[in-house]
Amino acid sequence: MRVWSKSEAQYVDHCIQEDLGMPLGYAMENAGHGVADVISEADVQSIFIICGTGNNGGDGMVAARHLKALGKEVFVYIIGDIDKGTSLCQEQFAICQKLELITDSLDMLPTCDCIVDAIAGTGVVGDLRDDLRQELDVIQTHIQKMTYEPLVVAIDVPTGLVADTGAVDPATLAADVTVTLGAVKQGMLLYPGRSYCGTIVEKGLGVSWDMFIEPSRTMYVTTEFAKKLLPQRIPTAHKGTNGHVVILGGSEGMYGAPVMAAEAAVYSGAGKVTLAVPTSCLDIVTQKVMPEVMTGSFGNMLHVRMHTVDKDAVAIGPGLGRNQEAKEMVRNFVNTFEGPLVIDADGLFALGRIETMGTTFIDRERPAVLTPHPGEFAALTGMTIADIEASRVEVAREFATKHNVVLVLKGAPTVVALPGGHVYINGSGNEGMGTGGMGDVLTGIISALIGQGLPESRAAVLGVFLHGNAADRLHEVKPFGFTPSEVAREIGTSIQALMTEEE
């Protein structure tokens, strides 16, 4: 599903008028009609529509007219000075006035079973002003005093939700349904914004917009989308065609991480999996790991190279430890290995600040996949975690483009940024996944998909989705307490569900 930034929404606005010569009022009519359709499908009779004086308010008044025509009781309340509003908003206001829909007080709000937030959408500049905050607080108080819970519907975005970042003003009304226009806005998929949108319904503007903007700069990864990324298996597939994956990891006391990564690669369909660990760990790891995984050891770079030469995917990092020896080994390996590569956990730690790797990543023909959580990403970039979280889509995009890597920035939601600047916001996963080892499993899944022949970018986007989807299946049975290994074992079922997903 396509995702818009604020500037893309505004650009489409501009193109509708300038390139097509289509009056924006047509788009507004479609927008308002779409909102009315959604509300009319809900079981509500009386609707209180709070409109600002921009085009978001105009959408609200178009919806008011349609709802009235459908026999609903409708009240339109204006916030702001209509004489200073946009011409389209003033036009709709004049019609609503003649239809006697305008009220100048909030008195009827508590009698309504639906409240519509059409105060402002993508046109908000900066933080909400105090006068609007106060109005929103008064509305909030009215809603809280009601003896039943009204259906709160936001038009385009809940007012005060920053369309690009998902930041939310404290006065923002949480919606049960957000009817978003044209395409979902980026901030609606990011936290805290996501929790203020309720169910997201997309409605069109009566015109296709993909001729104006590149169709896939930011995408939301849904089940239907992920289905298209699945690898195809030939009927004669065998372990030689399904890829040989190597996991390099482990250190004394850190045996579980590489074992989980290797086993996840097996559950994700790798043809063969070798787990290579430091010599001192070999015996314990061999006892722990499932029999499908081959084990090997390394004591120097020559051994590492022997394990990784001509392999279909190599992942380095899980449980490797943070001592100087491990650090040097990683840097040396990453600087010289040209094959398909995934770097995670202690492997990322060893890189330190990304600049210290010179042009290693930029020079690679096949981009490496880096899978940091925000803490690891902070170490790679020198940014604070707060700055990363405030703008995870844009910082991920910038990093991937600048360093020619596939960046999997883990979190809620995980975003995958590609060297060409495309970003995929993941649509699966849940809060039960916050358990040590979950990242190791993701590394195994992505490596196995690369091993099966998927390009790094596709393997990362699909791997992240499958990982979250498998966890969502477990989450249905227990909200938390499921283990990373259980998630790995569920991957096959997730793949099966995607394969049978209706178009």
Ligand X SMILES: NC(=O)C1=CN([C@@H]2O[C@H](COP(=O)(O)OP(=O)(O)OC[C@H]3O[C@@H](n4cnc5c(N)ncnc54)[C@H](OP(=O)(O)O)[C@@H]3O)[C@@H](O)[C@H]2O)[C@H](O)CC1
Rounded-to-integer distance, Cα 378 and Cα 370, Å: 13
Residue 136: what are its φ and ψ, rounded to 5°? -65, -40
> Toward K ion, which CB reaches closer, 92 or 274?
92
The dihedral region occupied by 87, where left means phi > 0, alpha psi between -120 and 50, and beta the remainder, is: alpha
* Residues 116-145, interacting with K ion (CB under 5 A): 117, 121
> Toward K ion, which CB reaches closer, 117 or 490?
117
Q: How many residues are listed for the chain in this entry?
A: 503
Q: Are the beta carbons of 176 and 170 closer than 8 angstroms?
A: no
Q: Which two tokens stand for residue 62?
A: 């178009």
Partnered with residue 247 across adjacent β-strands are 275, 315
Binding mask 407-446 for ligand X (x = CB under 6 A): ----------------------------------------
- # of chain residues touching ligand X (CB under 6 A): 34
CB of 107 to ligand X, least distance (A): 23
Interacting partner of 117 out of K ion, ligand X, none (Cβ under 5 to 8 A depending on kind): K ion
159: Cα within 13 Å, side-chain hemisphere: 28
Residue of 110, 123, 206, 432 that binds ligand X (CB under 6 A): 123
Partnered with residue 193 across adjacent β-strands are none
> Toward ligand X, which CB reaches closer, 181 or 320?
181
The dihedral region occupied by 296, where left means phi > 0, alpha psi between -120 and 50, and beta the remainder, is: beta
Q: Is 127 annotated as a binding residue?
A: yes
Q: Is 123 annotated as a binding residue?
A: yes
CB of 127 to ligand X, least distance (A): 6
Residues 398-406: contacts with CB under 8 Å, at least 24 apart? 399/354, 403/354, 403/361, 403/362, 404/361, 404/362, 404/364, 404/367, 405/361, 405/367, 405/368, 405/369, 405/370, 406/367, 406/368, 406/369, 406/370, 406/456, 406/457, 406/460
Interacting partner of 27 out of K ion, ligand X, none (Cβ under 5 to 8 A depending on kind): ligand X
**What contacts 296, CB < 8 A, 6 or more positions away?**
274, 275, 276, 277, 282, 303, 307
Q: Are the beta carbons of 149 and 175 closer than 8 angstroms?
A: no
Q: Which two tokens stand for residue 469?
A: 């989807």
Binding mask 81-120 for ligand X (x = CB under 6 A): -----x---------------------------------x
Q: Is 86 annotated as a binding residue?
A: no
> Toward K ion, which CB reaches closer, 112 or 254?
112
* Residues 198-257, interacting with ligand X (CB under 6 A): 205
Binding mask 153-172 for K ion (x = CB under 5 A): -xx---x-------------
Residue 251 burial (CB count, 10 A): 21
> Toward ligand X, which CB reaches closer, 57 or 419?
57
Rounded-to-integer distance, Cα 321 and Cα 312, Å: 25
Nearest CA to 34 out of 169, 206, 268, 171 is that of 206
Q: Is 58 annotated as a binding residue?
A: yes
**What contacts 424, CB < 8 A, 6 or more positions away?**
218, 219, 220, 221, 415, 416, 417, 418, 461, 464
Rounded-to-integer distance, Cα 347 and Cα 234, Å: 34
- Sign, CA torsion 265/266/270/275: positive
* Residues 8-37, interacting with ligand X (CB under 6 A): 9, 12-13, 16, 24, 27-28, 31
Told to check if 124 binds ligand X by CB under 6 A, we report yes
> Toward ligand X, which CB reaches closer, 137 or 252?
137
Told to check if 296 binds ligand X by CB under 6 A, we report no
Q: What residue is closest to K ion based on CB?
A: 159
CB of 157 to K ion, least distance (A): 6
CB of 427 to ligand X, least distance (A): 22
Interacting partner of 129 out of K ion, ligand X, none (Cβ under 5 to 8 A depending on kind): ligand X
Told to check if 53 binds K ion by CB under 5 A, we report no
Binding mask 261-280 for ligand X (x = CB under 6 A): --------------------
> Toward ligand X, which CB reaches closer, 157 or 316?
157
CB of 34 to ligand X, least distance (A): 10
**What contacts 133, CB < 8 A, 6 or more positions away?**
169, 170, 171
Interacting partner of 123 out of K ion, ligand X, none (Cβ under 5 to 8 A depending on kind): ligand X
Told to check if 178 binds K ion by CB under 5 A, we report no
Rounded-to-integer distance, Cα 64 and Cα 138, Å: 22
Q: Is 319 annotated as a binding residue?
A: yes
Q: Is 57 annotated as a binding residue?
A: yes
For 248-308, the three-class secondary structure string (H helix, E strand, C coil) is ECCECCECHHHHHHHHHHHHCCCCEEEEEEEHHHHHHHHHHCCCCEEEEEECCHHHHHHHH
Residue of 5, 53, 165, 360 that binds ligand X (CB under 6 A): 53
Told to check if 80 binds ligand X by CB under 6 A, we report yes
The three-class DSSP label of residue 331 is helix
Select the span of 100-108, 146-154, 178-186, 384-392 touching K ion (CB under 5 A): 146-154
Residue ranges of the binding site: 55-59, 117, 121-127, 156, 159, 257, 319, 373, 410-414, 439-440
Residues that bind ligand X (CB under 6 A): 9, 12-13, 16, 24, 27-28, 31, 52-59, 80, 86, 120-129, 132, 155-156, 181-182, 205
**Annotated binding site for (6S)-NADPHX, which residues?**
55-59, 121-127, 156, 257, 319, 373, 440
Binding interface with K ion (CB under 5 A): 117, 121, 154-155, 159
